[in-house]
Amino acid sequence: TVKVPKDRTLDNTLAIFKDGYEFISKRVQSNHLDVYETRVLGEKVALLSGEEGAKLFYDTNRMNRKNALPSRVLKTLFGEDAIQTMDGKAHTHRKLLFMSLMTPEAITSLKVITKKHWDQFASKWEDKKKVVLYDETRELLCRTACEWAGVPLKEKEVEKRTRDLSNMIDGFSAVGPKHIESRRARKRTEKWIEDLILDVREGKQSAQKGTAIYEMAMHKDLHGNPLDARMAAIELINVIRPLVAISKFITFGALAFYQFPQNIAKAANDDDYLLRFTQEVRRYYPFVPFLGARVDHDFTWQQYNFKEGQLVLIDIYGTNHDPRLWDNPDEFNPDRFLNWNGGLFDLIPQGGGDYYKGHRCPGEQPTIEILKSSFDYMTNHLDYEVPKQDYSYSLRKMPALPKSGFVIKNVQRQ
C-alpha cells in the first residue's frame, strides 16, 4: 500500500513562516497528493490541497469547526463564538441571516454606494500630489461598508474606525505589539458596535429593515431568543470588516493593470472581460493562505487515517494555483475563465462548497460586485500615472500586499 508521507521534522511551526503561502502546496502537491501529515504547534495536522482536498474539507459529515480556530485569531480577526466557529443547525440558521442580506436590491444599492464614494475620493485625489491606493481604498470601503450596513459613522471617527477594522485583519498572525494592537482594535470596535445595537433595540438609532444593522439587532436564534448584544455586534463586524478588506484585492487589481496593461482596455469595454479579470485577481494574488477544521470522527481517506479531533488545514492559495486545475497557474490570464465550469471546489479564495451547507464566504457576491465597480471606475473614469516604487510582495508574508501600498499620481477624473 502507498503510505501518506509525513514530515520527519519534529515540528513545522516555523516552516509556516518560512514557506508562507506555499507551506501546504510544497508538501502536498510536490508529492502529487491531496493529503500530507505534519506537526504544527505540537499537534499532528493533516494538510489538504487541491479540488479533492477541498471536497473533503467541506464535507460537514466528516469535518467540523469546534475548536478549529486558535484563540489569538478569535480575539482579533473573527470574534469569539461567531459564525466561523458554529456547526450543524445553529450554523445553518446563522448563515441564513448573512445570506438574507444579499438580495438583488441590496447588491444594487451596494454598487450605487460604492460608485458614489469612488467619485468623492477621485475628486479629492485630483488635488493630491500622490495617492497610496491601499490606504485610500480602505477608507473608501469603510465609508461604503458603514453606509450599506446602516452603521452611522462620525466624520471625525472615520480614520480611527478604518484603522481598527483593518488592524483586526493584519494583526492576527503577527506577534508582539502588532498583535496586541489588533486585539485592542477588536475591543474598541466591539464596544462601538455593541452600543449601536443597543440603541437600535431601544429605538434611539433608526435602522431600515434589510440592512445589516437592523437584521443583526433583531435576529432570533433557533430557540427564538435575540442575540446577546455583544454577539450581534460581532456578527455585524463580520460584515463591515471584510468589506474593508476588499481594499487588498483592489490594490492587487491596480497592480495587475500596471503589470499586464493589455487588460485595461479590455476591462473598460467588455463587461464579461471585467468579470473574468476580477475572478483572475481573486485567484492569482495571495490573500487567505489556508483554513482550519477538525475531524468529526475517525475515518480513512486516500489511505490516510483521520483521527477524531485532529486539526485539518485546507490550502487556499495552493488550490487556486494547483496545476492539476489551472493551466500555467502562475500566469495572469483572465481568459482562462472562458472555459471555467464554475466549480465549487477549484476557485476558492473565499472558501469552497455551498453557501448554505457550509462555511463558504457569504460575502463573495458583494466582493465580486465591489471589485467590478472599482475596476470599472479605474479603467473608465480615472487617469493616473504610476511613479517608480517598490510594489513587490512576498509570499512569505501573510497577509501579503504590495510594499508601497501601490502609489499613483497625477490623478484625473474622466
Nearer to ligand HEM, 83 or 325 (CB): 83
- 3-state SS assignment for residue 354: coil
Residue nearest to ligand HEM (CB): 363
Shortest separation between residue 320's beta carbon and ligand HEM, angstroms: 11
Footprint on this chain of ligand HEM (rule: CB under 6 A)? 83-84, 95, 98, 238-239, 242-243, 245-246, 249, 287-288, 291, 349-351, 359-363, 366-367
Going from the C-alpha of 92 to that of each of 83, 97, 206, 413, the distances in angstroms are: 9, 9, 28, 45
CB-nearer residue toward ligand HEM: 310 or 367: 367
For the bound state, the minimum distance from the C-beta of residue 388 to ligand HEM, rounded and expressed in Å, comes to: 28
Structural Rg of the chain based on CA atoms: 21
Q: Which is nearer to ligand HEM, 62 or 266 (CB)?
A: 62
Q: How far is the CB of 370 from ligand HEM (least distance, A)?
A: 7
Pairwise CA distance, residues 180 & 167, whole Å: 10
Give 230's Cβ-side CA count (13 Å radius). Answer: 8
CB closer to ligand HEM, 4 vs 101:
101
Determine the Cα–Cα distance for residues 221 and 189; give it in Å rounded to an integer.
23
Beta carbon of residue 32, minimum distance to ligand HEM (angstroms, whole number): 25
Residues 6+ apart with CB under 8 A from 277: 253, 256, 263, 266, 267, 334, 375
Q: Which is nearer to ligand HEM, 239 or 401 (CB)?
A: 239
Alpha-carbon distance of 234 to 273, in angstroms, equals: 36
Please state the closest distance from residue 87 (CB atom) to ligand HEM, in A.
Answer: 10
Helices (H), 357-407: 364-380
Of 4 and 144, CB closest to ligand HEM: 144
Three-state SS at 382? strand
Least distance to ligand HEM, CB of residue 410, Å: 28
CB of 404 to ligand HEM, least distance (A): 20
Q: In whole angstroms, how far apart are CA 53 and each of 134, 312, 323, 352, 395?
A: 33, 10, 14, 11, 22
Grid cell in block for residue 107: 447588491
Compute the least distance from the CB of residue 103 to ligand HEM, in Å.
Answer: 13
Nearer to ligand HEM, 85 or 411 (CB): 85
Give the length of the chain: 414
Least CB distance to ligand HEM at residue 49 (A):
15
Q: How wide is the angle at C-alpha 282 spanned by C-alphas 276 and 287, nearest 5°?
A: 170
Going from the C-alpha of 263 to that of each of 257, 292, 331, the distances in angstroms are 6, 35, 13
Within 10 A of 199 (CB to CB), how many other CB atoms are there?
16
Task: Choose among 371, 368, 366, 367: nearest CA to 118.
Answer: 371
C-alpha 83/C-alpha 80 separation (Å) is 9
Question: Exposure of 260 by Cβ count < 10 A (0-12 exposed, 13-18 middle, 19+ buried)?
Answer: middle
Q: How far is the CB of 109 from ligand HEM (least distance, A)?
A: 13
CB closer to ligand HEM out of 212 and 411: 212
Quick one: 246 or 408, whose CB is closer to ligand HEM? 246
CB nearer to ligand HEM: give 29 or 350. 350
